[in-house]
Amino acid sequence: MSEMNKKLLISLLFFFFIKSIIAQSYQVVENEDGSKTFNQGHLVMYDGVPFLTVKGDAYEMGLQYGVLLNKQLIKMDNTVDSLVESYIGSFFIKKWIAGAVLNKKIKKIEKILPPEYLDELKGMADGSDLELKDLQLIAYFPQLFFKISCTAFILKNENGLVHGRNLDWPGIEVLTHFPLIVDYHKKDKIPVTVLTFMGYPGVYTGMNHSGLSMSINMNGTPPANEHKIDDYNTGMPLAFKLRNILENADKLHEVDELFRDYSSHAWFITVGSKKDNSGAIFELTRGEVIKNQMNNDFLYVANLSLSDVGRYSYSPIWMHGTSNISRERKLQELNLRIDASDLIYKSYKILTSTENHHLTHDPFYAYGICNSNTIKSCILDNMNSNIYFTYGERYAALNKYLVYNVNSGEIDTYQQKQEIADPDYFKARMDFQQWYGKQFSGKKKLDNNDYSLIIKQILEFNLQPAYQAYLQSYYYDLMKDYDNANLQAQQYILELPDFYNTYFNKYKIMRNKGDYMGAIVALEQMMQTSTINPYYEYLANVYMIEMYNELVNQKYDQIYVDKILKLSKHVRWLVSQYMIDKDTQKDLDKIANIEKKYLK
């Protein structure tokens, strides 16, 4: 070993020795009730959930956090490392390149992160066995890798005001095993309670002790054409901005002021205020802040803007698709249908709904307010300082709900875990997906033998009849066995005659078969369902143009040409009120090219 390497090794060993000596000097007091105390920090475990209170300046709070949650932070660090590897792979060169990109993004975040939050992370590092860079990855990881899709609302009546929200966040299900409730009592600031995950100091959902609550929803609208999202993200990371606001504001007009000149893109911030007895939803889009004030007893948002400019001028028509529209319609319906003076109970019933239009759930369990991506659910009682919440890998709102009073620290059970709609069918669906994953995890491309095996296996599970018919039609279609695909598509329709997707499924089979008139009929039937939404109405018209064009290619018929010209005009009218993004423009260009063939 060279002299330089020896010196380097000695330096590293000395560093870790000093760090271990410092860590060992922190005296954690274990109390008779099982709670732990370090300096002004206090940790209580209840039903597997850590409730942490930290007090002091930013560094001191971080130090208490790191000391009291050291073991959990180490486990979280290992989990995040595994998640990163699962996304970028373990191959050395690929991992090295991805690591360089990640470090660049972390440095960019640090440049716009207020020093106090970096001091807090430094305190966490000093109090735990993790390095600062490890904690930075945990703290920044969610916003670097994942996108969120949520539901939030403010409800009020003569009895009070509450803020409900479901956090839908695909890809981080494993992090739900690391829930955390933190009470931050920062020196000279308003105390804030945050519902978060281990090691994440930002706020996606939180309420301060003055009764001001805030939560984040994502708005999936793209940036303006020829722009990038980073063009608008010039302020501090949004989750830290929310924490900053909660630490400094207790009224809506103060939130207005703190959002002034803040620039970001594609977010909704739902705010409830005890002192105002009201709420608002802020749209942060294209560097603008648009405020939607609460004008009645119910204000809600899924992932589609409320303001006219955000909803239409800034949103392409594909934003008005199944997930957003079905949840919006259900929110409106449930608010009217659930007649309850108890706002907590009413909020709970809304958040636990898996319904899709008239269905108790759609065949995919995907488009309800509580769905397969829901990993956290909560109700913030602004007036009484209570937080009702639960976590889970999916359909979290159905899990056991706890209630926590931020003033007294009392914790109790609010609601026991409840069964999902059609639990036997749901279990069979999960079992089938597990079988599929194990069977084909190492195979990139499937063939007809695989499709035959899948079709045979589908019948071995007690799947919901509609879902079973859908799966069989799908795999028969891939095999180009269109007769059997059509038979199963018809069964799917018989099971769910007013569900738009059944007819869209048949359209694709008829199109692939070359039965273009059959495809058109399926699209026309789809548009007659009560579950149709603006995006699928648009798609139906676009695809009918394509199908009529195929019919004309087979045999010229002026009736079909007239249909093409009429539908083309209608499509342009349908999208005229929406943002024309690149994807929509491709559709319009394709239609224009078809139209040119027949214009005289």
Distance CA(34)–CA(32), nearest Å, equals 5
Q: Is there a contact between 235 and 260 (Cβ–Cβ < 8 Å)?
A: no
pLDDT along the chain (600 residues), means of 10: 57 54 73 95 97 98 98 94 68 50 71 90 96 88 68 95 95 91 97 96 96 94 89 89 97 97 94 98 95 96 96 96 96 94 96 96 94 96 98 97 96 97 95 95 92 97 97 98 98 98 98 98 98 98 98 96 97 97 96 91
Q: What is the pLDDT at residue 92?
A: 46
Phi and psi torsions of 172, nearest 5°? -120, 30
Q: Is there a contact between 365 and 354 (Cβ–Cβ < 8 Å)?
A: yes
Edge to edge, the sheet with strand 49-56 lists 29-30, 36-38, 41-46, 49-56, 179-186, 192-197, 205-208, 212-218, 267-273, 278-285, 288-293
Token pair for residue 185? 């009592």
Q: What is the pLDDT at residue 100?
A: 61
Assigned CATH for 440-596? 1.25.40.10
Q: Is there a contact between 63 and 127 (Cβ–Cβ < 8 Å)?
A: yes
Length of the chain counted residue by residue? 600
Q: Is there a contact between 572 and 588 (Cβ–Cβ < 8 Å)?
A: yes
Q: Where are the beta strands (DSSP E) in 228-313?
A: 267-273, 278-285, 288-293, 298-301
Amino acid at 127: G
Amino acid at 140: Y
Distance of CA 488 to the CA centre of its chain: 33
| Interacting residues of 94 by C-beta distance below 8 A, sequence separation 6+ | 88
Q: Are strands 267-273 and 278-285 parallel, antiparallel or unpaired?
A: antiparallel
Q: Is there a contact between 280 and 291 (Cβ–Cβ < 8 Å)?
A: yes
- What is the DSSP code string of 551-568? HHHHS--HHHHHHHHHHH
Let me know if 160 is exposed, middle or buried by CB neighbors in 10 A (0-12, 13-18, 19+): middle
Q: What is the pLDDT at residue 94?
A: 44
- Nearest Cα neighbor of 258 from 249, 250, 266, 267 is 249
Burial 338-356 (b: 16+ CB within 10 A, else e): eeeeebbebbbebbbbbbb
Phi and psi torsions of 251, nearest 5°? -135, 160
Tell me which CATH homologous superfamily contains domain 147-422. Answer: Penicillin V Acylase; Chain A (3.60.60.10)
Q: What is the pLDDT at residue 97?
A: 47
- Nearest Cα neighbor of 379 from 365, 396, 394 is 396
- What is the DSSP code string of 582-599? HHHHHHHHHHHHHHHTT-
Q: What is the pLDDT at residue 142?
A: 65
Would you kindly state where each structural domain of the chain is located, as residue ranges? Answer: 147-422, 440-596
Q: What is the pLDDT at residue 14?
A: 54
Q: What's the whole-model pTM score?
A: 0.92
Burial 136-158 (b: 16+ CB within 10 A, else e): bbbbbbbbeeeebbbbbbbbbee
